[in-house]
């Protein structure tokens, strides 16, 4: 089986999305890119995460060719592909529909640095312009908002994308963003949130980078 390790991880982390409550039913998708093989393991379309086995995970190249797997790949393949093509340090993409982050996305707002843990995503979490799911336009909008600076982006009226060096890292970023989104939502409900400065968040980003180097 091609990319057996990656396909096993897709099944494991797909179930984690449901356990964490950051997506529902068959919503969202996730992938891992093996740069040595230039192949992507991506979750299949329209199959509940609890029923996805490693064999059902689809293996694709970055030219839209299905290499292995009988199922249809996630409709968001283009979104995953553009990130792997343009972000060489990124090896996993996780797309979720967490309640608070998606609420902010439905307001077409970004998540400002309300808490230092936003540093996992960057200086803030920007919001990509709306486009229909599964389209090249959405993929382009996401990358335009994400660029090389951010590890997470809200999708207007849709959800959240997070990226990382591996799937554990990408999912951790999703969790941190949802935590910050909830804080932002709750703080706005009772008053005007105090926002950390760019200088303060840059310092935290530097601390995180030093910590990750030691791991």
Angstrom distance (rounded) from CA 99 to CA 153:
15
Known catalytic residues are 76
Q: Which two tokens stand for residue 200?
A: 């303060």
Of the candidates 188, 208, 15, 56, the one whose C-alpha atom is nearest the C-alpha of residue 123 is 208
Of the candidates 93, 46, 42, 48, the one whose C-alpha atom is nearest the C-alpha of residue 69 is 42
Angstrom distance (rounded) from CA 39 to CA 26:
23
What spatial distance separates the first Cα and last Cα of the chain, rounded to whole Å? 31
Q: Is 67 helix (H, G, I), strand (E, B) or coil?
A: strand
Residues 6+ apart with CB under 8 A from 162: 93, 94, 96, 121, 151, 152, 170, 171, 173, 174, 177
HEC per residue, 72-119: CECCCHHHHHHHHHHCCCCCEEEEECCHHHHHHHHCCCCECCCCHHHH
């Amino acid at each position: 089986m091609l990319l057996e390790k990656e396909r096993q991880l897709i099944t494991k982390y797909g179930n984690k999305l449901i356990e964490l409550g950051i997506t529902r039913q068959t919503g969202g998708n996730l992938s891992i890119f093996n740069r040595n093989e230039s192949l992507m393991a991506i979750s299949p379309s329209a199959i509940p995460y609890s029923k996805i086995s490693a064999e059902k995970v689809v293996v694709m190249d970055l030219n839209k060719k299905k290499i292995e797997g009988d199922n249809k790949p996630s409709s968001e393949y283009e979104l995953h592909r553009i990130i792997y093509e343009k972000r060489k340090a990124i090896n996993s993409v996780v797309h979720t529909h967490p309640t608070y982050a998606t609420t902010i996305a439905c307001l077409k707002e970004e998540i400002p640095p309300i808490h230092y843990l936003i540093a996992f995503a960057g200086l803030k979490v920007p919001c990509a312009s709306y486009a229909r799911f599964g389209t090249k336009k959405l993929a382009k909008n996401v990358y335009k908002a994400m660029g090389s600076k951010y590890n997470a982006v809200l999708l207007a009226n849709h959800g959240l994308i997070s990226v990382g060096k591996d799937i554990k890292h990408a999912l951790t970023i999703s969790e941190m963003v949802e935590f910050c989104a909830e804080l932002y939502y709750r703080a706005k409900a009772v008053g005007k949130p105090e926002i950390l400065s760019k200088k303060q968040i840059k310092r935290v980003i530097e601390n995180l980078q030093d910590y990750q180097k030691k791991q």
